[in-house]
Every structure is written in C-alpha cells, then in structure tokens.
Amino acid sequence: MIIGPENVGKTTLLKVLIKQSLLANEAPTQVASGNHPLIELITFDTGDMVKTGLGTLADSKVGLAVLQSPSLQVTRQTLSDLKSQRTNVFDKSLRSKYNELRPKLSKIKKANTDSNESKKSQQSKIDNLHAVLCDFGDQAEYHVTHQPFMSCDSIYVLVFNIAEEINDVIQQRNNSKSDITYFARIHEWLSSVHGCKELSHGLEGNARNEITIDGKNYELPIVIVIGSHADKIVANNEEEKNRKIKAAYNKISQEFGSKAFSKHLYLSYLAMNGEGNDNSEATQRLRDETRKQLCQIFTKIAEKLPFITDPIPVRWYEIIQILRGEREDKTIKKLLTKTQVKDLIDKHHLSKQGEKLDSLLSYLHNIGQIVYCDKDEILSNWVVSDIDWLIEVFCSLIRISFFKSSHADDWSE
C-alpha cells in the first residue's frame, strides 16, 4: 500500500513500478473533485516487474495445479457439469482451457524445478511473486475511509519529499502552502499503520509480529520509506546530492526513532525522480533501477513474512473468479452476510469440511477482493463483495462534505 503526504509522488511511484508514462503537471489525486478514485488497485508481478491481471493470475494458479495433477478433483462436480456452470475459471472444460496456458505454465513449472532455491517456500517461487498495489487518495478528507482497506499483512510504502525539510509545511501543486507539516502527515499515516498491529495477526493462528531483515529486527507491518523529488535536490555534484539524500533519511530516522512505530520503518535510501517533463534516457534508466531495487526489497521482506508460507488452496483462486464473474454479471449482492458467502461457496461446491471461513475472507480482504472487518463484533458478520460500490459511497459522502465546506454560505441560506 502506497501512503504518504499530499503531493509527494505516490501515484508517480505507482506509475514507475508498472512502467506507465509520467505526465507533466499531472493533476493531484483528489477524490473530492471527482478526478481520481479513492483507492486504485493494481496486480503486479514483482518477478517480471510488470502489471498483470488478477483473473489471469488466478487462472494460471488453478491451471498449474491441474497440469501438475491431471487427476486432481478441484470440485465435487464432474467436468461436464462444470462446462455449463457460469464462472470465469470453468467456462470450458478444464483440460481444454488450460491447454491454452500450457506454454506459460510449463515455463513456470520448469523454472520452479530448475531453481537453486527450491527449498524455499512455495510463495517465494517464481510463479508466486505477485502483489496488489494500492494507491490511496491524497486529501485529508479521505483518511477516515482508508482504515477498512489497511491490514497488518500488507507491506506499506511511505513516500516523502526528499527535497523538502520534514518540518516544513506541505508544498501543494498550485504553489500554495498547506496548514500541516510533512512531519504531522507522516506521523498520522504511521499511527494508522501501527494501529493495524492491534487489529490483525496475519492468517489463521499466526500471532508472530516481528521479522529479521539483514540482521535487524522489525515489527509488522513493515513500512518501506522511499524519497521522491530527487530531481529537485540542489547540489553541485553527485557526491553532494548523495550526502543530502542520506541526510534526509537520517532525519526521518531521527524524528521517528523514538516513536512507538519506529520499528516498522525500513529505510530504503532510494531517491526517485518524478519529473513528468523529464523522460530522457538517463532518467528512464534511473527509474528502471529504482523499480528493480524496490522490487528486490519487496521480495526480501515478503519472504520473511510469517504467513507467506501458509499454502493457498486452489479452491480460493476459483472463488476469486466466481466473485469477479458474479460482480460482472451483477448477480451478487453488494453487501453479504457471512452465511450468504458460505451459501455461495457451497453452491459452487468449493467448501471444505473443517475449513474456517474467516481464513478465506481475510485472504480475499488482503488482496483487495472484498472488505471484511474481522475484529469488529458487528462488522465481522458482514462482507462487502463490491469494493467499487463501497468506494463510490465513500466518495459521494466526501464530495458532499467537500461541497458543503466549500460553499458554506450557500448551504446556510
């Protein structure tokens, strides 16, 4: 999840990661004005460093299992029954559908077999290095809406403006100054992340909340700190620029080192150039190197997460596709009780005796397919199956509030 103060380059970082072109003078991420979603979700292959589709990924996961185990009975129905069942995964015979994927799946299988790191967990192998990237909206009005999407099982990326002093007020795009400092906004974000620690302990039965990376202990969830606006640093040479970059990171460490959330911070010491006007070959190389190094950090951290070794049942990938298919067909309610979710799974013969529904729902929540607040006594009985609908509700309320505050005199009349 990409977080940070306004106008520091969060969306720019997202575009750098997925190799999307940057625009000069791009408009800020403002939900209240209606020009940007509250939260943007993108599935990303950290191995190949490319944007991918969650549906394609789910297809590949199921297909790989089928090709590796041709006799695998993935449901309690026969293949002929599945041919007539409306899901994105089983819209044809399994063998027919996944024969189309055989070249890619065989390549993945061979890479896994030939890997010198074959003893590592299944999740750290080539075919599992995927992430769901979340880019949150900027304005302070949005922050109350972020909590339902946050999780202790996420890796957070905190972007800060490396060319500004941390105790300066936030510089906005119209050259005006905010009434809040970078320090205050970063503190606000880190407090929210730290709060996740008390709300979640990862997947079923896992309460471990510390990991060791490069000999240093960190508390979960991890927050990777990355600097932006490196092109705005005033320096006479590269050596001086690197000293200023290091000093900016040391300032972050100093300001937050004594805080309760200090052990969440992983300082990357990376500095990103986000100037949309500069698409020179040299700048592109720097962005490529930033993307490569950040993906390496993602992988290093992900391999240490305590829940990463928990196997994901093939059936769960099928359920992802069922949810996607029913949302597209508008045959599923936007708000479901847990009993209704269980009935849906049973209808498609994908339930398993003894399996806790909470584990599946937590997984679907963590990858951005549903919203499930498992730690709230009342909300834990409900599941939002359509995140776009929930976001639109949030946006409507925010826009109304924004409009009222911007036209107070009109409303008072």
Q: What is the pLDDT of residue 254?
A: 92
Sign of the alpha-carbon dihedral angle for 13, 14, 19, 22: negative
Which of 18-32, 84-98, 172-186, 324-338 is predicted with the least confidence, judged by mean pLDDT?
A: 84-98
pLDDT at residue 237 greater than cutoff 90: yes
Average pLDDT in the chain: 75
Sheet holding 39-45, edge to edge: 50-52, 39-45, 130-136, 2-3, 156-161, 223-228, 265-271
Could you name the CATH architecture of 2-47+129-302? 3-Layer(aba) Sandwich (3.40)
Question: Does residue 187 surpass a pLDDT of 80?
Answer: yes
Beta pairing partners, 226? 159
Q: Which residues have a Cβ under 8 Å from the Cβ of 2 and sit 6 or more positions away? A: 10, 13, 14, 133, 134, 135, 136, 156, 157, 159
pLDDT at 77: 39
The predicted-structure confidence for 266-287, as pLDDT tens digits, reads as follows: 999 999 986 666 677 888 888 8
Q: Tell me: pLDDT of 72 over 50.
A: no
* Res. 50: pLDDT tops 80: no
Query: How far, in Å, CA of 280 to CA of 276, rounded?
Result: 10
413 pLDDT more than 60: no
Lowest mean pLDDT of 98-112, 152-166, 207-221, name the range: 98-112
Class of domain 314-392: mainly alpha
- Whether the pLDDT of residue 109 is over 90: the answer is no
Q: Nearest-CA neighbor of 129 among 13, 287, 293, 296?
A: 296
CB 57 within 8 A of CB 290: no
Cα–Cα distance for residue pair 164/161, rounded to 1 Å: 6
Count the Cβ atoms, other than its own, within 10 Å of residue 92.
Answer: 14
Residue 74 in 3-state DSSP? coil
Share of the chain above pLDDT 90, in %: 26
Stronger pLDDT, 55 or 96, i.e. the higher one: 55
Confidence of residue 106 (pLDDT cuts 50, 70, 90): low
- Please report, for residues 332, 366, 382, the alpha-carbon distance to residue 149 in angstroms, rounded to integers and kept in the order given: 21, 8, 15
Extents of the domains making up the chain: 2-47+129-302, 314-392
The whole-number pLDDT of residue 149 equals 78
Strands 335-337 and 382-384: antiparallel
Average pLDDT estimate for 204-222 = 80
Q: pLDDT tens-digit profile of 370-409?
A: 999 887 788 889 999 988 888 788 777 766 554 444 444 5
Top-confidence residue, 352 or 136: 352
* Tokens representing residue 106 in the block: 């065989």
Here the tokens at position 190 are 């880190």
Separation between Cα atoms, residue 394 and residue 261, nearest integer Å: 28
Statement: residue 194 has pLDDT above 80: yes
- pLDDT, position 64: 65
Quote the tokens at residue 240: 């001086």
